[in-house]
Structure 1
Amino acid sequence: MSIPTILVTRPSPAGEQLVNRLRTLGLMAYHAPLVNLSPGNDLTRLPVLLQAMQPGDLVFVLSQNAIRYIHPLLNRNKLSWPAKLTYYAIGRSTALALQAVSHLPVNYPLNVSTSEGLLALPELQRVNGKQALLLRGNGGRALLGETLIIRGAKVSYCECYQRNPVYYDAHKQSAYWQHARINTLVVTSGEMLQQLYTLIPAYYRSFWLLHCRMIVVSERLAAYANRLGWHDVRVAEGADNDALIRELQ
Protein backbone atom coordinates (compact mmCIF):
# COMPACT_ATOMS: atom_id res chain seq x y z
CA MET A 1 0.00 0.00 0.00
CA SER A 2 1.10 3.61 -0.62
CA ILE A 3 1.81 6.03 2.23
CA PRO A 4 -1.20 5.81 4.56
CA THR A 5 -3.77 8.56 4.71
CA ILE A 6 -5.66 7.75 7.87
CA LEU A 7 -9.24 8.27 9.01
CA VAL A 8 -9.63 8.02 12.78
CA THR A 9 -13.21 7.36 13.87
CA ARG A 10 -12.84 7.08 17.65
CA PRO A 11 -14.53 9.80 19.73
CA SER A 12 -12.90 12.80 21.38
CA PRO A 13 -10.66 13.35 23.19
CA ALA A 14 -8.78 10.15 22.30
CA GLY A 15 -9.51 10.49 18.58
CA GLU A 16 -8.21 14.04 18.37
CA GLN A 17 -5.14 13.11 20.41
CA LEU A 18 -4.38 10.22 18.06
CA VAL A 19 -4.69 12.41 14.96
CA ASN A 20 -2.43 15.08 16.45
CA ARG A 21 0.24 12.50 17.29
CA LEU A 22 0.06 10.96 13.82
CA ARG A 23 0.47 14.37 12.20
CA THR A 24 3.47 15.06 14.44
CA LEU A 25 4.98 11.87 13.04
CA GLY A 26 4.51 13.21 9.51
CA LEU A 27 1.47 11.11 8.61
CA MET A 28 -1.70 12.41 6.97
CA ALA A 29 -4.61 11.87 9.35
CA TYR A 30 -8.19 13.09 9.67
CA HIS A 31 -10.61 12.86 12.58
CA ALA A 32 -14.27 12.02 11.99
CA PRO A 33 -15.80 10.68 15.22
CA LEU A 34 -18.71 8.34 14.62
CA VAL A 35 -19.96 8.72 18.20
CA ASN A 36 -19.77 11.41 20.84
CA LEU A 37 -19.95 10.86 24.57
CA SER A 38 -22.20 12.20 27.30
CA PRO A 39 -22.93 11.31 30.96
CA GLY A 40 -24.76 8.03 31.43
CA ASN A 41 -28.22 7.61 32.92
CA ASP A 42 -26.89 5.79 36.02
CA LEU A 43 -23.90 7.98 36.73
CA THR A 44 -25.36 9.91 39.67
CA ARG A 45 -26.31 6.61 41.38
CA LEU A 46 -22.76 5.33 41.38
CA PRO A 47 -21.57 6.68 44.78
CA VAL A 48 -24.45 4.85 46.50
CA LEU A 49 -23.76 1.66 44.55
CA LEU A 50 -20.08 1.69 45.49
CA GLN A 51 -20.71 2.35 49.16
CA ALA A 52 -23.24 -0.51 49.34
CA MET A 53 -20.66 -3.09 48.24
CA GLN A 54 -18.90 -5.36 50.73
CA PRO A 55 -15.14 -5.77 51.22
CA GLY A 56 -13.66 -7.92 48.46
CA ASP A 57 -16.53 -7.35 46.03
CA LEU A 58 -15.57 -6.77 42.41
CA VAL A 59 -15.67 -3.60 40.30
CA PHE A 60 -15.04 -3.83 36.56
CA VAL A 61 -14.14 -0.68 34.61
CA LEU A 62 -14.71 -1.39 30.93
CA SER A 63 -13.17 1.70 29.34
CA GLN A 64 -11.26 4.88 30.06
CA ASN A 65 -14.41 6.77 29.10
CA ALA A 66 -16.08 5.48 32.27
CA ILE A 67 -13.24 6.89 34.39
CA ARG A 68 -13.52 10.21 32.56
CA TYR A 69 -17.05 10.64 33.95
CA ILE A 70 -16.79 8.79 37.26
CA HIS A 71 -13.75 10.46 38.82
CA PRO A 72 -15.03 14.06 38.54
CA LEU A 73 -18.34 12.90 40.04
CA LEU A 74 -16.55 11.37 43.03
CA ASN A 75 -14.46 14.53 43.46
CA ARG A 76 -17.54 16.75 43.42
CA ASN A 77 -19.05 14.61 46.18
CA LYS A 78 -15.75 14.55 48.14
CA LEU A 79 -15.57 10.77 47.75
CA SER A 80 -12.77 8.41 46.78
CA TRP A 81 -12.70 5.03 45.10
CA PRO A 82 -13.42 2.59 48.00
CA ALA A 83 -10.24 0.76 48.99
CA LYS A 84 -12.26 -2.20 50.30
CA LEU A 85 -13.16 -3.33 46.76
CA THR A 86 -11.18 -5.31 44.18
CA TYR A 87 -10.81 -3.54 40.84
CA TYR A 88 -10.49 -4.94 37.33
CA ALA A 89 -9.98 -3.20 33.99
CA ILE A 90 -10.50 -4.45 30.46
CA GLY A 91 -6.92 -3.63 29.45
CA ARG A 92 -3.63 -2.04 30.43
CA SER A 93 -4.44 1.56 29.44
CA THR A 94 -7.72 1.54 31.35
CA ALA A 95 -5.98 -0.06 34.33
CA LEU A 96 -3.26 2.60 34.38
CA ALA A 97 -5.85 5.38 34.09
CA LEU A 98 -7.78 3.92 37.02
CA GLN A 99 -4.64 3.47 39.10
CA ALA A 100 -3.69 7.09 38.45
CA VAL A 101 -6.92 8.49 39.89
CA SER A 102 -7.68 5.87 42.57
CA HIS A 103 -4.14 5.09 43.82
CA LEU A 104 -5.33 1.49 44.22
CA PRO A 105 -4.24 -1.82 42.66
CA VAL A 106 -6.07 -2.72 39.45
CA ASN A 107 -6.06 -6.19 37.88
CA TYR A 108 -6.07 -6.60 34.11
CA PRO A 109 -5.15 -9.17 31.43
CA LEU A 110 -1.56 -8.78 30.25
CA ASN A 111 -1.88 -9.99 26.68
CA VAL A 112 -5.25 -8.92 25.26
CA SER A 113 -7.61 -6.05 26.06
CA THR A 114 -10.86 -8.01 25.72
CA SER A 115 -13.61 -9.48 27.87
CA GLU A 116 -12.26 -12.94 27.01
CA GLY A 117 -8.81 -11.98 28.28
CA LEU A 118 -10.23 -10.57 31.50
CA LEU A 119 -12.35 -13.67 32.11
CA ALA A 120 -9.26 -15.87 31.73
CA LEU A 121 -7.66 -14.40 34.87
CA PRO A 122 -7.29 -17.20 37.46
CA GLU A 123 -8.90 -15.19 40.27
CA LEU A 124 -12.11 -14.78 38.25
CA GLN A 125 -12.71 -18.49 37.76
CA ARG A 126 -14.56 -18.77 41.10
CA VAL A 127 -16.56 -15.77 42.21
CA ASN A 128 -19.38 -17.45 44.15
CA GLY A 129 -21.30 -15.00 46.31
CA LYS A 130 -19.38 -11.94 45.15
CA GLN A 131 -21.09 -8.75 44.05
CA ALA A 132 -19.78 -7.61 40.66
CA LEU A 133 -20.45 -4.07 39.47
CA LEU A 134 -19.73 -3.35 35.79
CA LEU A 135 -19.02 0.31 34.99
CA ARG A 136 -19.62 0.85 31.28
CA GLY A 137 -21.32 2.80 28.53
CA ASN A 138 -24.79 2.21 27.14
CA GLY A 139 -25.20 -1.26 25.68
CA GLY A 140 -22.09 -3.19 24.78
CA ARG A 141 -21.27 -6.88 24.86
CA ALA A 142 -22.96 -9.03 27.48
CA LEU A 143 -20.24 -11.70 27.62
CA LEU A 144 -18.51 -10.45 30.77
CA GLY A 145 -21.63 -10.10 32.89
CA GLU A 146 -23.21 -13.33 31.67
CA THR A 147 -20.04 -15.33 32.36
CA LEU A 148 -19.63 -13.88 35.86
CA ILE A 149 -23.23 -14.86 36.63
CA ILE A 150 -22.55 -18.42 35.45
CA ARG A 151 -19.53 -18.48 37.76
CA GLY A 152 -21.65 -17.49 40.75
CA ALA A 153 -21.39 -13.70 41.00
CA LYS A 154 -24.31 -11.32 41.52
CA VAL A 155 -23.89 -8.87 38.65
CA SER A 156 -25.19 -5.32 38.35
CA TYR A 157 -24.49 -2.63 35.78
CA CYS A 158 -23.95 1.11 35.94
CA GLU A 159 -24.23 3.14 32.73
CA CYS A 160 -21.59 5.78 33.39
CA TYR A 161 -21.53 7.30 29.91
CA GLN A 162 -23.50 7.18 26.69
CA ARG A 163 -22.27 6.78 23.14
CA ASN A 164 -24.40 8.86 20.80
CA PRO A 165 -24.11 8.50 16.99
CA VAL A 166 -22.74 11.44 15.00
CA TYR A 167 -24.63 11.98 11.75
CA TYR A 168 -22.94 12.97 8.48
CA ASP A 169 -24.20 13.79 5.00
CA ALA A 170 -23.44 10.40 3.44
CA HIS A 171 -22.70 11.43 -0.18
CA LYS A 172 -20.87 14.64 0.73
CA GLN A 173 -18.72 12.95 3.37
CA SER A 174 -17.94 9.93 1.19
CA ALA A 175 -16.83 12.16 -1.68
CA TYR A 176 -14.68 14.24 0.66
CA TRP A 177 -12.95 11.22 2.20
CA GLN A 178 -12.29 9.65 -1.19
CA HIS A 179 -10.98 12.96 -2.57
CA ALA A 180 -8.67 13.18 0.48
CA ARG A 181 -7.27 9.77 -0.61
CA ILE A 182 -8.18 8.07 2.67
CA ASN A 183 -6.80 4.54 2.43
CA THR A 184 -6.52 3.49 6.08
CA LEU A 185 -9.36 3.34 8.63
CA VAL A 186 -9.04 3.18 12.42
CA VAL A 187 -12.15 1.70 14.05
CA THR A 188 -12.26 0.71 17.71
CA SER A 189 -15.72 -0.80 18.22
CA GLY A 190 -18.23 -2.96 16.39
CA GLU A 191 -20.85 -0.25 16.80
CA MET A 192 -18.68 2.26 14.93
CA LEU A 193 -17.73 -0.29 12.28
CA GLN A 194 -21.37 -0.97 11.49
CA GLN A 195 -22.13 2.75 11.50
CA LEU A 196 -19.31 3.47 9.03
CA TYR A 197 -20.39 0.65 6.74
CA THR A 198 -24.01 1.84 6.78
CA LEU A 199 -23.09 5.51 6.31
CA ILE A 200 -21.18 5.04 3.06
CA PRO A 201 -23.42 4.63 -0.03
CA ALA A 202 -23.07 1.39 -1.98
CA TYR A 203 -21.13 2.98 -4.85
CA TYR A 204 -18.41 4.42 -2.60
CA ARG A 205 -18.44 1.30 -0.47
CA SER A 206 -17.69 -0.99 -3.42
CA PHE A 207 -15.10 1.16 -5.20
CA TRP A 208 -13.36 2.76 -2.22
CA LEU A 209 -14.34 1.91 1.37
CA LEU A 210 -13.89 -1.87 1.28
CA HIS A 211 -10.50 -1.47 -0.39
CA CYS A 212 -9.12 0.56 2.52
CA ARG A 213 -6.86 -1.03 5.09
CA MET A 214 -8.71 -1.47 8.37
CA ILE A 215 -7.00 -1.16 11.76
CA VAL A 216 -9.05 -2.65 14.61
CA VAL A 217 -8.41 -3.51 18.26
CA SER A 218 -9.50 -7.16 18.62
CA GLU A 219 -9.74 -10.39 16.67
CA ARG A 220 -13.50 -10.32 17.18
CA LEU A 221 -13.69 -6.93 15.47
CA ALA A 222 -11.40 -8.13 12.68
CA ALA A 223 -13.70 -11.07 12.01
CA TYR A 224 -16.67 -8.70 11.85
CA ALA A 225 -14.84 -6.46 9.36
CA ASN A 226 -14.08 -9.53 7.22
CA ARG A 227 -17.76 -10.51 7.22
CA LEU A 228 -18.71 -7.01 6.04
CA GLY A 229 -16.28 -7.28 3.12
CA TRP A 230 -12.90 -5.88 4.18
CA HIS A 231 -9.90 -8.03 3.25
CA ASP A 232 -6.92 -6.03 4.53
CA VAL A 233 -7.61 -5.98 8.27
CA ARG A 234 -4.89 -5.55 10.90
CA VAL A 235 -5.30 -6.02 14.64
CA ALA A 236 -3.43 -3.60 16.90
CA GLU A 237 -1.80 -4.95 20.07
CA GLY A 238 -4.22 -2.93 22.20
CA ALA A 239 -6.98 -0.35 22.09
CA ASP A 240 -4.89 2.59 23.35
CA ASN A 241 -3.40 5.23 21.07
CA ASP A 242 0.16 3.96 21.62
CA ALA A 243 -0.76 0.55 20.23
CA LEU A 244 -2.62 2.07 17.30
CA ILE A 245 0.37 4.25 16.40
CA ARG A 246 2.69 1.26 16.46
CA GLU A 247 0.40 -0.55 14.03
CA LEU A 248 0.01 2.50 11.77
CA GLN A 249 3.76 3.10 11.54
Structure 2
Amino acid sequence: MVVLVTRPSPDGEALCDALSSSGIQVIYQPLIQFTLGKDSPSLQATLQETDVVIAVSKPAVEWANRALHSKMQTWPDSIRYLAIGQKTADKLSEVTAQKVHYPEVSDSEHLLQLPPLLKPINTKVTILRGNGGRELIREELLKRGARVEYCEVYQRQTLLFDGHSRVKSWKKIELPI
Protein backbone atom coordinates (compact mmCIF):
# COMPACT_ATOMS: atom_id res chain seq x y z
CA MET A 1 0.00 0.00 0.00
CA VAL A 2 1.13 3.53 -0.82
CA VAL A 3 -0.44 6.58 0.81
CA LEU A 4 -0.49 9.95 -0.94
CA VAL A 5 -0.11 12.78 1.62
CA THR A 6 -1.21 16.22 0.42
CA ARG A 7 -1.12 18.15 3.72
CA PRO A 8 1.00 21.29 3.72
CA SER A 9 4.24 21.60 5.62
CA PRO A 10 5.07 21.02 8.47
CA ASP A 11 2.12 18.73 9.27
CA GLY A 12 2.57 16.88 5.98
CA GLU A 13 6.13 15.87 6.78
CA ALA A 14 5.14 14.81 10.31
CA LEU A 15 2.36 12.61 8.92
CA CYS A 16 4.76 11.09 6.37
CA ASP A 17 7.27 10.30 9.14
CA ALA A 18 4.58 8.66 11.27
CA LEU A 19 3.30 6.56 8.37
CA SER A 20 6.82 5.58 7.27
CA SER A 21 7.77 4.54 10.80
CA SER A 22 4.72 2.25 10.74
CA GLY A 23 6.01 0.59 7.58
CA ILE A 24 3.68 2.37 5.17
CA GLN A 25 5.12 3.63 1.90
CA VAL A 26 4.40 7.34 1.40
CA ILE A 27 4.34 9.83 -1.45
CA TYR A 28 4.45 13.44 -0.28
CA GLN A 29 2.79 15.94 -2.59
CA PRO A 30 1.59 19.10 -0.81
CA LEU A 31 -0.98 21.03 -2.81
CA ILE A 32 -0.87 24.26 -0.79
CA GLN A 33 1.60 26.17 1.31
CA PHE A 34 1.13 28.71 4.06
CA THR A 35 2.64 32.19 3.99
CA LEU A 36 2.37 35.32 6.12
CA GLY A 37 -1.07 36.94 6.02
CA LYS A 38 -1.76 40.54 5.08
CA ASP A 39 -2.92 41.53 8.59
CA SER A 40 0.06 40.07 10.47
CA PRO A 41 1.99 43.36 10.70
CA SER A 42 -0.90 45.04 12.56
CA LEU A 43 -1.72 42.09 14.84
CA GLN A 44 -0.39 43.64 18.07
CA ALA A 45 -2.34 46.87 17.55
CA THR A 46 -5.47 44.85 16.78
CA LEU A 47 -5.08 42.77 19.93
CA GLN A 48 -4.73 45.89 22.07
CA GLU A 49 -8.27 46.90 21.08
CA THR A 50 -9.82 43.41 21.32
CA ASP A 51 -12.03 41.87 24.02
CA VAL A 52 -12.30 38.35 22.58
CA VAL A 53 -10.01 36.46 20.22
CA ILE A 54 -11.32 33.48 18.28
CA ALA A 55 -8.77 31.17 16.66
CA VAL A 56 -10.27 29.02 13.92
CA SER A 57 -7.27 26.73 13.31
CA LYS A 58 -3.85 25.68 14.55
CA PRO A 59 -2.15 27.43 11.60
CA ALA A 60 -3.92 30.66 12.59
CA VAL A 61 -2.46 30.37 16.08
CA GLU A 62 1.01 29.42 14.82
CA TRP A 63 1.20 32.24 12.28
CA ALA A 64 -0.19 34.81 14.73
CA ASN A 65 2.35 33.73 17.31
CA ARG A 66 5.12 33.92 14.71
CA ALA A 67 4.04 37.46 13.78
CA LEU A 68 4.09 38.60 17.41
CA HIS A 69 7.43 36.98 18.19
CA SER A 70 9.05 38.46 15.08
CA LYS A 71 8.42 41.90 16.60
CA MET A 72 9.29 40.77 20.16
CA GLN A 73 5.64 41.20 21.21
CA THR A 74 3.51 39.03 23.46
CA TRP A 75 -0.12 38.00 23.74
CA PRO A 76 -2.19 40.30 25.98
CA ASP A 77 -3.49 38.69 29.16
CA SER A 78 -6.56 40.93 29.30
CA ILE A 79 -8.29 39.14 26.41
CA ARG A 80 -10.75 36.24 26.55
CA TYR A 81 -9.45 33.52 24.22
CA LEU A 82 -11.68 31.06 22.34
CA ALA A 83 -10.88 28.35 19.82
CA ILE A 84 -12.95 26.28 17.46
CA GLY A 85 -11.63 22.95 18.75
CA GLN A 86 -9.46 21.31 21.38
CA LYS A 87 -6.24 21.06 19.34
CA THR A 88 -6.47 24.71 18.38
CA ALA A 89 -7.30 25.60 22.00
CA ASP A 90 -4.32 23.61 23.29
CA LYS A 91 -1.99 25.44 20.90
CA LEU A 92 -3.50 28.85 21.74
CA SER A 93 -3.23 28.15 25.46
CA GLU A 94 0.39 27.11 25.00
CA VAL A 95 1.39 30.35 23.25
CA THR A 96 -0.74 32.75 25.31
CA ALA A 97 -0.30 31.08 28.71
CA GLN A 98 -4.04 31.74 29.16
CA LYS A 99 -7.12 29.58 29.60
CA VAL A 100 -8.78 29.00 26.23
CA HIS A 101 -12.44 28.03 25.94
CA TYR A 102 -13.66 25.74 23.18
CA PRO A 103 -16.83 23.77 22.39
CA GLU A 104 -17.09 20.01 22.87
CA VAL A 105 -17.97 19.66 19.19
CA SER A 106 -15.37 21.35 17.00
CA ASP A 107 -17.39 23.51 14.63
CA SER A 108 -18.63 27.06 14.21
CA GLU A 109 -22.17 26.27 15.27
CA HIS A 110 -21.07 24.90 18.64
CA LEU A 111 -18.50 27.65 19.15
CA LEU A 112 -21.31 30.19 18.87
CA GLN A 113 -23.05 28.52 21.82
CA LEU A 114 -20.21 29.32 24.24
CA PRO A 115 -21.37 31.75 26.97
CA PRO A 116 -19.05 34.65 25.99
CA LEU A 117 -20.60 34.67 22.51
CA LEU A 118 -24.29 34.45 23.42
CA LYS A 119 -24.77 38.18 24.18
CA PRO A 120 -21.65 39.95 22.91
CA ILE A 121 -23.22 43.41 22.59
CA ASN A 122 -20.46 45.98 21.91
CA THR A 123 -17.79 43.32 22.43
CA LYS A 124 -14.83 43.68 20.07
CA VAL A 125 -14.12 40.23 18.60
CA THR A 126 -11.08 39.45 16.47
CA ILE A 127 -11.11 36.24 14.43
CA LEU A 128 -7.65 34.88 13.65
CA ARG A 129 -7.74 33.02 10.36
CA GLY A 130 -6.26 32.48 6.91
CA ASN A 131 -7.53 33.91 3.66
CA GLY A 132 -11.13 32.96 2.99
CA GLY A 133 -13.33 30.54 4.89
CA ARG A 134 -16.82 30.35 6.32
CA GLU A 135 -18.59 33.57 7.26
CA LEU A 136 -20.98 32.06 9.82
CA ILE A 137 -19.16 33.16 13.00
CA ARG A 138 -18.75 36.77 11.85
CA GLU A 139 -22.30 37.06 10.52
CA GLU A 140 -23.90 35.59 13.64
CA LEU A 141 -21.81 37.69 16.05
CA LEU A 142 -22.69 40.85 14.11
CA LYS A 143 -26.38 39.94 14.46
CA ARG A 144 -25.83 39.55 18.20
CA GLY A 145 -24.35 43.04 18.49
CA ALA A 146 -20.60 42.34 18.52
CA ARG A 147 -18.04 44.37 16.63
CA VAL A 148 -16.17 41.77 14.56
CA GLU A 149 -12.89 42.00 12.69
CA TYR A 150 -10.99 39.38 10.74
CA CYS A 151 -7.24 39.22 11.19
CA GLU A 152 -5.73 37.30 8.28
CA VAL A 153 -2.53 36.00 9.84
CA TYR A 154 -1.70 33.49 7.11
CA GLN A 155 -2.55 32.78 3.50
CA ARG A 156 -3.06 29.49 1.73
CA GLN A 157 -1.34 29.50 -1.65
CA THR A 158 -1.83 26.81 -4.26
CA LEU A 159 1.37 25.08 -5.32
CA LEU A 160 2.04 24.38 -8.97
CA PHE A 161 1.26 20.77 -9.76
CA ASP A 162 1.76 18.96 -13.05
CA GLY A 163 -0.63 16.10 -12.47
CA HIS A 164 0.13 14.25 -15.68
CA SER A 165 3.89 13.96 -15.10
CA ARG A 166 3.54 13.34 -11.35
CA VAL A 167 1.06 10.48 -11.85
CA LYS A 168 3.40 8.94 -14.44
CA SER A 169 6.27 9.03 -11.95
CA TRP A 170 4.07 7.59 -9.17
CA LYS A 171 3.11 4.65 -11.39
CA LYS A 172 6.81 3.71 -11.57
CA ILE A 173 7.07 3.24 -7.82
CA GLU A 174 7.68 -0.37 -6.93
CA LEU A 175 5.40 -1.72 -4.28
CA PRO A 176 6.69 -4.24 -1.75
CA ILE A 177 5.33 -7.74 -2.25
- Asked if these proteins are the same fold (TM beyond 0.5), I'd say yes
1:76 is aligned, of 64, 70, 91, to 70
1:169 to 2:157 alignment = no
Task: Check 1:117–1:24 CA distance in 2 against 1; reply closer, same or farther (3 A cut).
Answer: farther
Question: What 5-or-longer segments of structure 2 have no aligned partner?
Answer: none
Whole-angstrom CA distance in 2 between matches of 1:60 and 1:94: 10
TM-fit CA distance, 1:104: 0.4
2:42 is aligned, of 4, 28, 45, to 45
1:133 to 2:126 alignment = yes
Give the SS at the match of 2:77. Answer: coil
Give the SS at the match of 2:129. Answer: strand
1:194 corresponds in structure 2 to none
Give the SS at the match of 2:7. Answer: coil
1:121 to 2:114 alignment = yes
1:147 to 2:133 alignment = no
Return the structure number with greater relative CO, CA threshold 8 A, min gap 6.
2
RMSD: 2.0
The TM-score, its normalising length taken from structure 2, stands at 0.89
Q: Which amino acid aligns with 2:156?
A: R
TM-fit CA distance, 1:180: 5.0
1:5 corresponds in structure 2 to 2
1:16 to 2:13 alignment = yes
TM-fit CA distance, 1:137: 0.5
Task: Check 1:176–1:67 CA distance in 2 against 1; reply closer, same or farther (3 A cut).
Answer: same
Whole-angstrom CA distance in 1 between matches of 2:24 and 2:110: 32
Instruction: Calculate percent identity across the aligned residue pairs.
Output: 39
TM-fit CA distance, 1:28: 2.3
Whole-angstrom CA distance in 1 between matches of 2:81 and 2:58: 14
Question: What 5-or-longer segments of structure 1 have no aligned partner?
Answer: 183-249
Mapped contact 2:49–2:124 kept (Cα < 8 A): no
Task: Check 1:28–1:81 CA distance in 2 against 1; reply closer, same or farther (3 A cut).
Answer: same
Deviation per CA, 1:55-97: give whole Å up to 9, x if none.
Answer: xx11011111122222233223332211111111121111111
**Structure 1 ranges of 4+ moved more than 4 A:** 177-182
Mapped contact 1:69–1:161 kept (Cα < 8 A): yes
How many residues in Structure 1 have an aligned counterpart in Structure 2?
175
Whole-angstrom CA distance in 1 between matches of 2:87 and 2:65: 16
